[in-house]
Structure 1
Amino acid sequence: MARTPPSARTPTRRIRRLRVVGLPVALPVVLVAALLAVLAVIAAALGHQVAKSSSGSSPSAASPLNSFHLEHPGALGEADGVVPDGVTVFDDAIPAVANLDPGLLDALRQAATAAADNGVEFLVNSGWRSPEYQNQLLREAVAKYGSEDEAARWVTTAETSPHVSGDAVDIGRSDATAWLSEHGAEYGLCRIYRNEPWHYELRTHAIDHGCPRLYADPTQDPRMQQ
Structure 2
Amino acid sequence: MPDFEPAVRQALGPAHGAVPVPVPVFDDETPAVANLDPGLLAALRRAAADAAHDGVAFVVNGGWRSPEYQEQLLHDAVAKYGSAREAARWVATPATSAHVRGDAVDVGPADARAWLAEHGARYGLCQIYRNEPWHYELRPEAVGGGRPPLYPDPTHDPRMRR
1:171 aligns with 2:107: yes
Q: Which amino acid aligns with 1:184?
A: G
Q: Which amino acid aligns with 1:179?
A: W
Name which one, 1 or 2, has greater alpha-carbon Rg: 1
Superposition deviation, residue 72 in structure 1: 3.7
Q: Which residue number in structure 1 is paired with residue 86 of structure 2? A: 150
Q: Which amino acid aligns with 2:73?
A: L
Q: Identity rate of aligned residues, in percent?
A: 68
| Distance in 1, Cα, partners of 2:99 & 2:78 | 18
| Distance in 1, Cα, partners of 2:147 & 2:112 | 17
2:54 aligns to what SS in structure 1?
coil
**Count of aligned pairs between the two proteins:** 160
Q: Which of 1 and 2 has higher RCO (CA within 8 Å, sep 6+)? A: 2
Q: Which residue number in structure 1 is paired with residue 97 of structure 2? A: 161
- Taking structure 1 as reference, are residues 84 and 73 closer, same or farther at Cα in structure 2, changes over 3 Å only? closer
CA contact 1:69–1:82 (8 Å) conserved in 2: no
Q: Which amino acid aligns with 1:140?
A: D
Q: Which has the higher strand share?
A: 2
Q: Which amino acid aligns with 1:153?
A: R
Q: Give deviations 1:176-199, integer Å, cap 9, x for gaps.
A: 000000000010000000000000
Q: Which residue number in structure 2 is paired with residue 103 of structure 1? A: 39
| Distance in 2, Cα, partners of 1:68 & 1:116 | 34
- TM-score in terms of structure 1 length: 0.69
| Distance in 2, Cα, partners of 1:81 & 1:200 | 16
| Distance in 2, Cα, partners of 1:68 & 1:197 | 22
- Taking structure 1 as reference, are residues 120 and 146 closer, same or farther at Cα in structure 2, changes over 3 Å only? same
Q: Which residue number in structure 1 is paired with residue 50 of structure 2? A: 114
Counterpart of 1:180 (choices 102, 106, 116) is: 116
CA contact 1:129–1:163 (8 Å) conserved in 2: yes
Q: Which residue number in structure 1 is paired with residue 66 of structure 2? A: 130
Q: Which runs of 4+ in 1 moved over 6 A?
A: none
Q: Which runs of 5+ in 2 are unaligned?
A: none
Q: Give deviations 1:41-88, integer Å, cap 9, x for gaps.
A: xxxxxxxxxxxxxxxxxxxxxxxxxx6432443520111001131401
Q: CA RMSD in A?
A: 1.1
Q: Which residue number in structure 2 is paired with residue 75 of structure 1? A: 11
Q: Which residue number in structure 1 is paired with residue 134 of structure 2? A: 198
Q: How does 1:50-61 map to 2 (within 5 A)?
A: none
| Distance in 1, Cα, partners of 2:139 & 2:9 | 32
| Distance in 1, Cα, partners of 2:137 & 2:160 | 15
CA contact 1:128–1:169 (8 Å) conserved in 2: yes
| Distance in 1, Cα, partners of 2:45 & 2:17 | 19
